[in-house]
Amino acid sequence: MIGAGRLRFVATRMTAATAQDALGGRDDVYTAGSSFRCDLRDQGASETAYADGVAVIRNFEVRARWNTVENVGLTEIDRLSVRGKTLRIEAITNLDEADRLAVIQCVEVD
């Protein structure tokens, strides 16, 4: 379980667009949706090759109550906005399959 004192931040679900562009791909537009309380943990940064150089990728872990994440309808397709950061969701885990704590692995999007 996660203590209420740890839920210091507000996360806003950014819903992916359902419209398609001219080539049939999904539009890269996100709309603000429901909000929920969460805990944001910086997991550090890593380097990765990007184009002709190196990009720094900052990883975050967002923790929230499992029933809240279910009620909001959060999926890996969505984005999260927490403290001015836009986070791409990599995985949503139901910790210990106990239906109490959701651990959301994220990467910051510039």
Give the range of the structural domain holding residue 39, as residue numbers without chain letter: 4-109
pLDDT in tens, the chain (110 residues): 667 678 999 999 999 877 777 777 777 788 899 999 999 999 999 888 888 888 889 999 999 999 999 999 999 999 999 999 999 999 999 999 999 999 999 999 87
Contact 37, 15 (CB under 8 A): no
Alpha carbons 27 and 29: distance in angstroms, whole number: 6
Q: How many independent structural domains does the chain possess?
A: 1
Which residues is 91 bridged to in the sheet?
105
The reported pTM is 0.85
Q: Where are the beta strands (DSSP E) in the chain?
A: 9-16, 30-50, 53-65, 79-82, 85-94, 101-109
Q: Which of 35, 15, 11, 28 is nearest to 77 (CA)?
A: 15
Q: Specify the CATH number for the domain of residue 74.
A: 2.40.10.270
Q: Decide if 35 contacts 77 (C-beta within 8 A).
A: no
